[in-house]
Amino acid sequence: MALEDSGRVNFTNLRTERRARLFAAMDEANLEVLILGRTSNIHYTTGARLLWRSGVFPFAPMCIVVRSTEKTHLLSCWDDGIPPEIGREDLFGLFWNPVSLIAALRAIPGLVEATRIGTDSFTPSFSNFLPTFAGTSEVHDAAQLMTSIRSVKTNDEIACMVVATTVAEAGLTALEASLEPGISERTLLSIFNQTIAHHGTPTPPSESVVFVTDRQGPVRMRHLATDRALQEGDLVVLAPGAIYAGYEGGLARTRVVGGGSSPAIASLFERSSAGLDALISACVPGGSGEDLYKAWASTGEPVPTFALANGMGVGAEAPLIGFSRGETAILQEGSVLSVQSWVSTEGIGGVLNRELVRIGSRGPEILTRSERTS
């Protein structure tokens, strides 16, 4: 999907489908109220444009979903970026005085009367705070509920991820055009940030965008750009990503500075591509994380010290398959994975390839389009 086609995303329909899925899940779990504090869950539930900030912050009741009224209440000091189905009367403010916050929460219809409440997180202080506005309700872990409903993507969600990936690929093109000896990793990072900002996505999902792989000593997969200048023949990992309407898309490719190659470098590219193809072939409905581990082992490569795959969508999503984790994860039809293959040879460097893969009814569907080889 090209950027000019982004209007095909029906955002009203997108939010309606997500709300319907959420209330159905609450009904099945017999939860009368859902209290959310994690940014990705709040964005998924409300569709609100949230203030971006780096780092983590303590859990707080920032979003209240009430099943009996089918209302969503959001902590917000303004209504800019708030979808029309969440009215001003559904917003509650930020208070320095906890007594005022308690009063605002108790005023939410259906909250005080609820007997079963789910929450996506919890802290010792929140357990003491909850009875002040929710009485003697039973509290249940709703983190898995949110994980399950977010896993399977609708067509509109896939469209958002394709647009995000298109922006990321535009960033990749800009990086490739600037890849020459003498330019630094940080300069390349600034070129990438400028490119995606030009396309309307000024906040990248991460700074892990560009790094030169080592030629001397053990080759490692770095993540942050440095002032290191590129040299002729360097293998450079380019891993652009972008966010559109809250949904992340991205890929990773490795390029040779100067465009040259050698049999040893060509062998690295072939190994990385073969490993990625093996992993993608295991991305089928009903498959498991163990299947991906077996697919990687079948290539003859060493035990992976990196994530073979992880869920993609709004923020961090399950599953994480790698670092000796995720063997029991079951791959669901309609979910989207970021699948990657990293291989290296001391004295030459490393090659990273990453694809965005949708688990379709008839097998894996690759959403990324850029060529893998240099």
Domain of 165, CATH number, reads 3.90.230.10
- The encoded tokens of residue 234 equal 């360097």
Spatial separation of the C-alpha atoms in residues 12 and 265, rounded to whole Å: 49
- What values do phi and psi take at 349, rounded to 5? 135, -160
* pTM for this prediction: 0.91
Answer whether 336's CB lies under 8 Å from 311's CB: yes
In a domain, 372, yes or no: no
**Are 200 and 312 contained in the same domain?**
yes
In a domain, 256, yes or no: yes
Residue 65's domain comprises 3-150
Spatial separation of the C-alpha atoms in residues 100 and 95, rounded to whole Å: 6
Asked if pLDDT for residue 216 goes beyond 90, the answer is no
Answer whether 308's CB lies under 8 Å from 322's CB: yes
- Tell me which of 60-64, 202-206, 275-279 is least confident: 202-206
Q: Which of 150, 172, 204 is the last residue of a domain?
A: 150
**Are 29 and 173 contained in the same domain?**
no
In a domain, 73, yes or no: yes
Asked if pLDDT for residue 354 goes beyond 60, the answer is yes
How do residues 229-272 score in pLDDT, each as one tens digit? Answer: 999 999 999 999 999 999 999 999 999 998 888 999 999 999 99
In a domain, 374, yes or no: no
Cis peptide before 240 (omega within 30 of 0): no
Domain count, the chain: 2
In a 3-state reduction of DSSP, which class is residue 206? Answer: coil
Answer whether 62's CB lies under 8 Å from 37's CB: yes
Question: Residue 213: which pLDDT band, with cuts at 50, 70 and 90?
Answer: very high
In a domain, 345, yes or no: yes
Mean pLDDT of 51-55: 67
Predicted local confidence at residue 5, as pLDDT: 41
Eight-class DSSP state of 216 = S
**Are 172 and 105 contained in the same domain?**
no
**Are 117 and 181 contained in the same domain?**
no
Asked if pLDDT for residue 2 goes beyond 50, the answer is no
Spatial separation of the C-alpha atoms in residues 204 and 52, rounded to whole Å: 11
CATH of the domain at 84: 3.40.350.10
In a domain, 29, yes or no: yes
- The encoded tokens of residue 282 equal 């295991």
Least Cα distance to 12 among 44, 41, 47 occurs for: 47
**Are 144 and 175 contained in the same domain?**
no
- What values do phi and psi take at 198, rounded to 5? -60, -30
> How far is C-alpha 33 from the chain's CA centre?
26
**Are 117 and 222 contained in the same domain?**
no
Beta-sheet pairing, 138-141 with 116-119: parallel
In a domain, 158, yes or no: yes
In a domain, 56, yes or no: yes
Spatial separation of the C-alpha atoms in residues 115 and 135, rounded to whole Å: 8
- The encoded tokens of residue 187 equal 């300069």
Q: Which of 100, 115, 150 is the last residue of a domain?
A: 150
